[in-house]
Amino acid sequence: MISGGGTGGHIYPAIAIANAWKSKYPDSDFLFVGAEGKMEMQKVPEAGYRIEGLKVAGLQRSLSLSNLSFPFKLLGSLSRAKQLLKDFQPDVVVGVGGYASGPLLFAAQNKGIPTLLQEQNSYAGLTNKLLSKRAKKICVAYPNMEQFFPADRLIYTGNPVRKDIMELEGKRDQAMVHFGLVEERKTLLVLGGSLGARTINQAVLTEMGAFERAGYQVLWQCGKFYFADMSAQVAASGLKHIHVREFIREMDLAYASADVVVSRAGALSVSELSLVGKPVVFIPSPNVAEDHQTKNAMAYVSQDAAVLLKDADAIGSLKATVDSITNDEEKAKELAQNIKKLAKPEAAAAIVEAIAALIP
């Protein structure tokens, strides 16, 4: 059983682990467990796996009426998790973080079922920190995670990513056709996550005319919350080389097309971009627990493997930051080479090996 979700940063590593396991052990049976109403309930079936949902939600950090229902949802989720474990009889349970992994792994640990955690970020989430006390193994994506987890159970694997992202060679021409891009312009790929990032969208909107006049074309994933507004404003501008998308499924082609990538610094994005090996500008979200996106980004910036642009400075400074890379070939080359050195292409296989070792 594999549990967790809430964001693509939890869901896609979970699917990558399942795919790697299925490739090695094709006769295995899987059950994913997610949180009802969250994106895993759609994305996991799309990937070909069965999923059950728990009525679980997180505690709000501010005073909120929804916090009153938290204990009842948690108790209901624990009861449902116990029933799922009884019905499915898993050999091992894997938690990737997110609301649903708490009740399921807690119930599994109480039943003596081996559990493995996969922590994507450089700053561990609360759920994984609590569950780590009884987890058999903890697979991490960054070094020096002993500050959060028992050192004797840590395995430094990196984050698992989708296989197609590791195979970009020869895809640029296909990408140009697929997205309607032109060869003579430098391509700026802008990623704010599946839901979107307000500051990044506003920064692109502010400077999209300047980008086009300077000879760029922009492939822009703005997220579902912003798509109607952003696409309307692009259409009204009359600009021909600003390509706005709600969501990009063909990420291998998007990465293949890019000369520079602008991205949030979620764990999955950071791991994917290290494999892609393109110059990156990270704009970490300030709206996440313990400012972990800045910590993720700084692990790369400190190795001269990416450029950091603070969220507060992004609007009005994005083009100048991108220009500082595209106008300096040596810098662009150095960034691309250094980020690739930090890649962990065998992460999924290493996690599969760790899971297999837990099964008697």
Report which residue type is found at 66.
Answer: S
Instruction: Answer yes or no: is 244 a known binding residue.
Output: no
272 is in an annotated binding site: yes
Residue 268 assigned as binding residue: yes
Judge whether 293 is annotated as a binding position.
yes
Taking alpha carbons only, the member of 291, 306, 275 closest to residue 160 is 275
Helix (H) / strand (E) containing 205: helix 198-213
**296 annotated as a binding-site residue:** no
217 a known binding residue?
A: no
112 annotated ligand binder: no
Task: Determine the 3-state secondary structure of 1 from DSSP.
Answer: coil
Is 96 labelled a binding residue? Answer: no
- Is 42 marked as binding a ligand? no
Residue position matching structure tokens 């642009």: 309
| C-alpha–C-alpha distance, residues 291 and 189, integer Å | 24
Known binding residue 269? Answer is: yes
Token pair belonging to 121:
């970020």
Distance CA 276, CA 1 (A): 30
290 assigned binding-site residue: no
150, with CB counted inside 10 A (0-12, 13-18, 19+), is exposed
Helix residue spans in the chain (DSSP H): 8-24, 40-46, 70-88, 101-110, 126-131, 172-179, 198-213, 227-237, 251-257, 267-276, 292-301, 311-314, 318-326, 329-341, 347-356
Is 194 assigned a ligand-binding role in the annotation?
yes
Which tokens hold the place of 316? 């009005």
Task: Give yes or no for a contact between 343 and 277, defined as CB atoms under 8 angstroms apart.
Answer: yes
C-alpha distances in angstroms, 343 versus 20, 159, 249, 276?
18, 9, 22, 9
Annotated binding-site residue numbers: 7-9, 121, 162, 194, 248, 267-272, 293
Annotated binding-site residue numbers for UDP-N-acetyl-alpha-D-glucosamine: 7-9, 121, 162, 194, 248, 267-272, 293
